[in-house]
Structure 1
Amino acid sequence: MGILMKHADDILLISLKQGDMAAFDELYFRYAKKLMAFSLTFLADQQLAEEAVQEVFVRVWERRKKLDETKSFKSYLFQAVKFYMYNYIRDRKKDCSLDDLSVDCLVASNNQEDDLTYSEMEGMVMELIEKLPKVQKEVFKLNKLKGMNSDQIAHQMNLSKRTIEHHIYLASKSLKKNLLHNPTLNLIIFFNIFF
């Protein structure tokens, strides 16, 4: 695992497609904890979160030859966990009845209807990203949304690695500051900034 830590996801995916277990392990250790935390934002069930992550990585291994290294592997993983959790919730929905809910739960669910939807929150975060200074915005998007590392961005933008890391730091700091003023965005902060 140690030597592969410096490799970008796309390089690891090429190795994974050829059956390289070390590349698979590196990708697993790189993303498992983050995916687990993300799945807990849907349902606070540690065992279910572990199942979701395990199932997603089993599918990654089984379908490794079909993976597209030109697309963001990180985005693929988070989408897969999201769909796993949505499917789990959908499948359990038929087992629930209103008779099983307490009055407190019903009141809480009515309050949740007033909250912003995931897509609205994501839109708000994207608006904040768009308000960043030009270079910070570009660097942040390449790093956090496209999964590129500092070396790759530095090469693409013809800047030093240290400058890129500084822009990532400044952008993250600015976004965290803005997002912390809006408590309804706590889950989206977790997803969009730290992954």
Structure 2
Amino acid sequence: MGVLHKHTDTELLVCLRQGDGAAFDELYRRYAKKLMAFSRTFFFDQHLAEEAVQVVFVRIWERRHKLDASKSFKSYLFQAAKHYMYNHVRNRKKECCLDEAAGQVELAGQQRETELAYQELEDLAMELINNLPKVQQEVFKLNKLDGMNSEQIALQMNLSKRTIEHHIYLATKTLKKSLLQYPSFQVMFVLGINFGIIG
């Protein structure tokens, strides 16, 4: 693991915009598996899911100069994946015959349900995070959402590294306990929407 693993997504995006291949590799390392898990909810074929992930990252590299470093890379990534998936379904609809139309409509319905489930779970997780005590909330967001390590957060918040780690532990414990009350929690494993809470 290189030194870039300590960088936040924002810092990596700034480097990527300048054509830094190592920054691109680090972002790929962070998000490829999560994006693959998400792609498999649309594409039951492993090869199609892998192709989706590769195409999304290739397009990110090709359009690196246009990336907005002030916005969430994770959100951009999943939006790009959903755009690719919808285009794939649309193109397949053009190619398929009338006998396949019913199956395609059913698939589109399943994809819409998956998208809604994704958004609902993401909204639920964010709501629970926002209900944490103020310091825990801030520390958790910096760590799990912005990708900062405990040392970086300690410097930014002028607290000890051990205190930061304790806040992360308490926040994670509280969120896990809260999420386990929801039957849909298991779906988060499939969608890859874990905000660093699982595992």
Give the shorter-chain TM-score range.
Answer: 0.7 to 0.9
Of all paired residues, the percent bearing the same amino acid is: 66
Aligned to 1:11: 11
- Among 84, 97, 100, the alignment partner of 2:101 is 97
Match of 1:174 in 2: 174
CA distance 1:92–1:187, shift in 2 (3 Å): farther
Kindly tell me the number of residue pairs found equivalent between the two proteins.
186
Distance 2:32 2:77 in 1: 10
Q: Which runs of 5+ in 2 are unaligned?
A: none
The 5 A counterparts of 1:153-192 are: 153-188=153-188, 190-192=192-194
Please state how far the C-alpha of 1:93 moved relative to its aligned partner. 5.2
In the TM superposition, what whole-angstrom CA distance separates every residue of 1:66-112 from its partner, at most 9, and x where no partner exists? 122222222322222233234334444564433x59xxx9xxx89x9
TM-score by length of 2: 0.75
What root-mean-square deviation, in Å, do the aligned CA atoms of Structure 1 and Structure 2 show? 3.1
Which residue is equivalent to 2:119?
119
For the structure 1 residues 43 and 163, does the alpha-carbon distance in structure 2 shift closer, same or farther, using more than 3 Å as the test? Answer: farther
Q: 1:69-148 residue pairs with structure 2 within 5 A?
A: 69-92=69-92, 95=96, 96-98=100-102, 117-148=117-148
Change over 3 Å in CA distance of 1:21–1:122 after alignment to 2 = closer
Cα distance in 2, alignment partners of residues 59 and 152 from structure 1? 31
Structure 1 unmatched ranges of 5 or more: none
Structure 1 length as normaliser, TM-score? 0.76
CA contact (8 A) 1:74 1:147 kept: no
Q: Is the 8 A contact 1:125 1:188 kept in 2?
A: no
Alpha-carbon distance between aligned partners in 1 of 2:93 and 2:182, rounded to the nearest angstrom: 30
Structure 1 CA distance, aligned partners of 2:66 and 2:31? 20
SS in 1 for 2:71: coil
1:59 maps to what in 2? 59
Three-state SS of the structure 1 residue aligned to 2:159 is coil
Change (3 A) 1:88 1:180: farther
Aligned pair partner of 1:193 in 192, 195, 198: 195
Instruction: State how far apart, in whole Å, the 2-side matches of 1:117 and 1:3 are.
Output: 36
Contact 1:179 1:186 in 2 (8 A): no
CA distance in 1 between partners of 2:151 and 2:70 (Å): 17
Residues 1:65 and 1:178: Cα distance change in structure 2 (over 3 Å): same
Indicate how the Cα distance of structure 1 residues 32 and 121 shifts in structure 2: closer, same or farther if over 3 A, else same. Answer: closer
- Please state whether the residue corresponding to 1:97 is helix, strand or coil: helix
| Letter of the 2:6 counterpart | K
